Amino acid sequence: GPTWNPSVKAFYKWKANGRDYGLESLVNTFFDRDAHLRLLRDYTLFYRIDDATQKYLLRPHQMRTVEKIVERVVAGAADLTAPDSGLEWHTQGSGKTLTMIVAAHLLRRQPALDNPTILIVVDRLELEAQMLQNLEAFGLPAIHAESRHHLAKLLARDTRGVIVTTIHKFDGIKKGLLSRRNVVVLVDEAHRSQEGDLGIDMRAALPNAFFFGFTGTPIDRSKVGKGTFKTFGSPVDAEGYHDKYSINESIEDGTTVPLYYTLVPIQLWLDRVTLDRHFSELLQEFYATVEEEGAGSQEALSRLLQRADKLMAVLKSPHRIDEIVQHIVAHFQEHVAPLGFKAFTVTPDREACMLYKQAFDRYLPVDWTVVVYSDNPKKDSADMRALYLDDAAERQVRKAFRDPAKQPRIFIVTEKLLTGYDAPIAYYMYLDKPLKDHTLLQAIARVNRPYP
């Protein structure tokens, strides 16, 4: 672990080649001269978070992945027939963002790559802003592609260095715009937005580039020639992935903590109205639609929910919400707040966020809860607009939430903060949104970080 950082979570067990060995083997691998110098030179980092400089050592799985990526790119730089892709399957909360940033940093320093172009691609404006902030915190200069036109101009001008963009800015981009081999694309949340036209446009614009996808929840649709393994997996990777860091391994290492589930007592959420509307059938019908239309993100799921009128009427019943909030308040005050932790409440949609906030305010101090959602002034009611946070206010509440001495204590969300937001103090999630598969795993991973 790093010096002058007393946090227990900053320390970890050394592993040789990803596995535990005997003492002699561990000592020999740790003090291997080349490996030790790389640890000090490349993987000891200074990172600025919340106006404070923090020191980090990359964990063994992060170093392993970075070295695999650099090795594959350098080996294939002069050979168009060499492997040029890879799926990095690392569970949520294991530091994928930092792994990507260090990989980009080291790729830029490789003489064999002759001043490459590194594109970091995300699929949401929120994640784009977070990535730019993380790059700034690390001290790695990056160019923000601000629009489709700006991205096209950057590529047409043969721009070198690190470029951050959303996948949507590749929409309709010119084919073969940047055909150099020394172009590396690092895709965050690689299970989303890659199989449609946007992913096709991106690859057509960068025909000879290397593509590495990072995800904690790959989608396996290989039987029909689709899915994350098909999109990013290389034929030389027998298991379909370039590197894997599993949930079990991360828990063993202390990188993440195990999650436990408790079903709310049924009388709190299956009232008479729900039974009359055949709630179970409505829910199954909704999940069938999700499967059929391949909703791969929180946003896509929310759009489908808006079409499920009967289901939403049940989920947003005022009596139902009031009963659930009373349960949350009692549970939070007994089991979460005394430990110094905080929590998320995830609601079906943005209007439900407002309804939950109104209910919470009847039982808790107003400043204990904050709604974080995107605004939509043309459609939202005055009550919903009153809960808007501008960018500065949202940054402030995000920072305050991480501080045990400050409010708020509970975030009320439906899409925002369910990916990319890291707050280890979040101990509990009260989930009242129909989620499944990778969208569920992404959401609950907000509370899998060790703390303190």
Q: Is 26 a member of any domain?
A: no
Can you tell me the mean pLDDT for 284-300? 56
Percent of the chain at pLDDT above 70? 84
Say if residue 48's pLDDT is above 90. Answer: no
Q: Is 1 a member of any domain?
A: no
Write out the E strands in 113-263. 117-122, 143-144, 161-166, 183-187, 210-215, 220-221, 226-227, 243-245
Same domain, 272 and 224: no
Residue ending a domain, choose from 253, 287, 311: 253
What is the average pLDDT value for the chain, to the nearest integer? 86
Residue 209, pLDDT score: 96
Same domain, 301 and 411: yes
Can you tell me the mean pLDDT for 292-303? 54
Residue 26, pLDDT score: 80
Say if residue 298's pLDDT is above 80. Answer: no
Same domain, 275 and 228: no
Distances (CA, A) of 132 to 58, 113, 145, 210, 445: 20, 23, 11, 21, 22
Q: Is 22 a member of any domain?
A: no
Same domain, 216 and 311: no
d(CA 189, CA 213): 7
User: Residue 84's domain is classified under what CATH number?
Assistant: 3.40.50.300
Residue ending a domain, choose from 253, 280, 314: 253
Q: Is 302 a member of any domain?
A: yes
Say if residue 120's pLDDT is above 70. Answer: yes
Say if residue 163's pLDDT is above 80. Answer: yes
Same domain, 229 and 327: no
Higher pLDDT, 420 or 110: 110
Q: Which of 388, 370, 371 is nearest to 379 (CA)?
A: 388
Q: Which of 77, 101, 99, 81 is nearest to 89 (CA)?
A: 99
Q: H/E/C letters for each residue in 135-165?
A: HHHHCCCCEECCCHHHHHHHHHCCCCEEEEE
Same domain, 245 and 319: no
pLDDT tens figures, 366-404: 999 999 998 888 889 999 999 999 989 998 999 999 999
Q: Is 39 a member of any domain?
A: no
Residue 270, pLDDT score: 53
Residue 225, pLDDT score: 46
Global pTM reads 0.83
Q: What angle do CA 169, 104, 176 make, to 5 degrees?
A: 40
Tokens 């070198």 correspond to what residue? 160
Same domain, 236 and 315: no
pLDDT tens figures, 216-246: 888 776 554 467 888 898 999 989 999 999 9
Q: Are strands 143-144 and 117-122 parallel, antiparallel or unpaired?
A: unpaired
- Among 26-35, 186-195, 274-283, 293-302, name the most confident range: 26-35
Same domain, 106 and 180: yes
Within 10 angstroms of residue 365's Cβ, the number of other Cβ atoms is 11
Residue 57, pLDDT score: 87
Same domain, 296 and 231: no
Domain count, the chain: 2
Say if residue 146's pLDDT is above 90. Answer: yes
108 phi, psi to nearest 5 deg: -65, -30
Q: Is 9 a member of any domain?
A: no
pLDDT tens figures, 183-213: 999 999 887 766 678 899 999 999 999 999 9
Same domain, 240 and 272: no
Q: Is 81 a member of any domain?
A: yes
pLDDT band for position 113 (cuts 50, 70, 90): very high
Higher pLDDT, 436 or 201: 201
Q: Alpha-carbon torsion 413, 416, 420, 421, what sign?
A: negative
Residue 191, pLDDT score: 78
Distances (CA, A) of 48 to 56, 150, 262, 421: 11, 28, 37, 16
Same domain, 423 and 323: yes
d(CA 169, CA 149): 8
What is the three-class DSSP state of 32? Answer: coil
pLDDT tens figures, 315-343: 888 998 999 999 999 999 999 999 999 99
Same domain, 168 and 278: no
Residue ending a domain, choose from 228, 253, 278: 253
Q: Which domain holds residue 158?
A: 58-253
Residue 222, pLDDT score: 56
Residue 315, pLDDT score: 83
Q: Is 38 a member of any domain?
A: no
